[in-house]
Amino acid sequence: MKKRLLALFTALALAAALAGCGGGAPAPTAQSGAGSSPEGGELTGTVTVWSWDLALVQLQVEAEKFQQLHPGVEFQFEEMGTSQVYSKLTTCLQSGIGLPGVVTIEGEQMAKFGSKFPGKFYDFTGRVNAADYLDVKIGEATVGGKLLAWPWDSAPCALYYRTDLFEQAGVDPASIVTWDDLVAAGTQIKEKTGVDLLPLPTTYNDTLYRLMLMQQGTFYFDEAGNTVVDSAESIRAMSMIQKLYQAGITYDQNSWDDFVAAITGSKVACAPDAVWEAGTFIDAAADQSGKWAVMELPRFDAEVPVKGSSNGGSVLAVPAQSESPEAAAAFVEFAMTDMDTSGFTERTIYPSYIPLLNDPVFSEGLDYFGGQPIYELFAKVGQDVTQVNYTENFAEAIDLAKNAVTKVTLNGEDPTAVMQALQKELVEKFGK
């Protein structure tokens, strides 16, 4: 297993990025026929791909197979981090110059690009069979009612836990149904072993709050894009975070390094996170093989089944003004419907393509997790994650929600008052 793909976001001024986008006349649009093939003809053109880390490697593998079917298509690959991709993409979209044929974008960021640059991305509506993909990924790829990207990797979440610490503390994992059950278990684990229950960022991010929102079928924004962080579900989620913190059973995590230290140093008994985190456990804590297992996240009410939660994943988009948009779109379709499991088995890219998730490889047990077929559990969770509306305001909302976490944990402020204040602040900032 390899380590997870990194995720960051920055902005770059237009003048600085124009040099990176190159010069010359604007590239033809998707409607101009550049790179397309007449009906029954052959695809031709050059497709430039922007991506990062293992995602780029996987796209290179897919391109080699694609070229066997379409030798008239050439590929150029550029590896860059997410911040560089977003900075360069922003300014190239503004100028219409130097755009890639295919670009990897985090699913949560697609709404921002699609909304800010209407008409600038290839429309896959009608080309993607939505029933073949996890619902949450279709939501990420949809902007303004159009599929402006193709779903790729997914990130369903569950609770990783240390079986040996649970056993040492006399806690039966099967007894944990609700978050209140987990708090009680955490108290017992801390008393018996001295180990904290889970890492909890107090200033670093709001991920746990977000997972709890999704469990309850809500998010920062409703379907119409209105801010709803003062909802009963939102307040309940933030109240539970405060409860976990005030129970004295959380490990203060304020960086990625803190998380790794918590795992490798046996400082926590649990970690709620996405499927890609399995690679972190296997790589960074190899000496703990056989001591970890996975269960579904606890729910708020024992009698009320929860929705699934997601944290991460990406989509593939095709800028409409790229050199060969039709060839690029055909490549994306080919790569995203390939039934080859090597992207997962060799590069730990967990797919959102349901037919691929039905492959037997996702039902195999992992020695590291005591022989448990954890990916089977994640596949089930993934199909329970409903669409959420990230909107173009997601990045700003995260920063402010993160501050709310700080207020209810470190400052001990009332969650209801904090979320009502956050609602007012976001509405004033976004207009709704």
- pLDDT tens for residues 317-350? 999 999 999 999 999 999 999 999 999 999 989 9
Neighbour count for residue 14 (Cβ, 10 Å): 12
Order of strands, sheet of 45-51, starting from the edge strand that comes earlier in the sequence: 73-79, 45-51, 102-106, 314-317, 150-151
Q: What does the mean pLDDT of the chain come to? A: 90
Looking at residues 68-78, what average pLDDT do you find? 97
**In terms of domains, do 194 and 269 share one?**
yes
Task: Say yes or no: 271 and 417 in one domain.
Answer: yes
* 370-375-380 Cα angle (round to 5): 125
How far is the first Cα of the chain from the last one, in angstroms, to the nearest whole number?
A: 43
> Does the pLDDT value for residue 5 go beyond 60?
no
Give the CATH number of the domain where residue 224 resides. Answer: 3.40.190.10
Q: Are residues 343 and 268 in the same domain?
A: no
Number of H helices, E strands in the chain: 17, 12
pTM of the shown model: 0.86
Same domain flag for 273 and 338: no
Q: Is 248 exposed, middle or buried (0-12, 13-18, 19+ CB in 10 A)?
A: exposed
- Between residues 80 and 25, which one has the greater pLDDT? 80
Give the DSSP H or E segment for 76. strand 73-79
What confidence score (pLDDT) does residue 50 get? 97
Q: How confident is the model over 200-217, as a mean pLDDT?
A: 94
Q: Which domain holds residue 270?
A: 157-309+385-430
Q: How confident is the model at residue 282 (pLDDT cuts 50, 70, 90)?
A: very high
Residue 17: its pLDDT value, please? 36
Note whether residue 230 is domain-resident: yes
Residue 8 lies in a domain: no
The answer on 161 and 77 residing in a single domain is no
Q: Is residue 377 part of a domain?
A: no
Letter string b/e over residues 254-278, b meaning 16 or more CB atoms within 10 A of that residue's CB: eeeebbbbbbeebebbbbbbbbbbb
Residue 223 shares a structural domain with residue 257: yes
- Assign 357 to helix, strand or coil: helix
Do residue 302 and residue 417 come from a single domain?
yes
pLDDT at 204: 86
Paired strand residues for 199: 251
For 366, the 3-state DSSP assignment is strand
Are 391 and 221 contacting, i.e. CB atoms less than 8 angstroms apart?
A: yes
Q: Is residue 417 part of a domain?
A: yes
HSE, CB side, 13 Å, CA atoms: give it for residue 266.
14
Q: Note whether 383 and 216 are within 8 A (CB).
A: no
| Interatomic CA distance for residues 379 and 366, integer angstroms | 15
Task: For residue 41, name the pLDDT band (cuts at 50, 70, 90).
Answer: low
Same domain, 424 and 343: no
Q: What is the pLDDT of residues 120-132, one digit of tens each?
A: 999 999 999 999 9
Instruction: Compute the distance between CA of residue 33 and CA of residue 172 in angstroms, rounded to an integer.
Output: 62
**pLDDT at 33 exceeding the cut of 50:** no
Please, are residues 245 and 202 in contact by the beta-carbon 8 Å criterion? yes
Split into its structural domains, the chain has a count of: 2
Q: What is the mean pLDDT of residues 266-295?
A: 95
Specify the pLDDT at position 305: 83
Is residue 423 domain-shared with residue 328, that is, in the same domain? no
Cα–Cα distance measured from residue 156 to residue 362, given in angstroms and rounded to the nearest whole number: 14
Q: Which residue has the higher pLDDT, 90 or 39?
A: 90
Of 17-31, 113-127, 230-244, 285-299, the least confident: 17-31
Task: Calculate mean pLDDT across residues 359-381.
Answer: 95
In a domain, 107, yes or no: yes
**The predicted structure's pLDDT at residue 31:** 31
pLDDT band at 398 (very low <50, low <70, confident <90, very high): very high
Burial tier of 68 (Cβ tally within 10 Å: 0-12, 13-18, 19+) = exposed
Question: Of 423, 426, 416, 419, which is closest to residue 404 (Cα–Cα)?
Answer: 419
Q: What is the mean pLDDT of residues 102-114?
A: 96
Query: What is the arithmetic mean of pLDDT over 210-223?
Result: 95
* pLDDT confidence tier of residue 118, bands split at 50, 70 and 90: very high
Same domain, 84 and 202: no
pLDDT of residue 56: 96
Q: Evaluate if residue 27 carries a pLDDT over 90.
A: no
Give yes or no: residues 285 and 181 share one domain: yes
Specify the higher pLDDT residue, 315 or 17: 315
Q: Is the pLDDT of residue 15 over 60?
A: no
pLDDT above 90 (res 378): yes
Q: Is residue 390 part of a domain?
A: yes
Per residue in 50-70, pLDDT (tens digit) is: 999 999 999 999 999 999 999
pLDDT of residue 42: 87
**Model confidence band, residue 12 (pLDDT cutoffs 50, 70, 90):** very low
Residues 299 and 158: their CA atoms lie apart, in Å, by 11
Same domain? 246 vs 212: yes
Q: Is residue 364 part of a domain?
A: no
Rounded to an integer, the average pLDDT of 73-90 is 96
- How far is residue 112's CA from residue 90's CA, in Å, rounded to a whole number? 10
The answer to the question of residue 320 being in a domain is yes
pLDDT at residue 25 above 90?
A: no
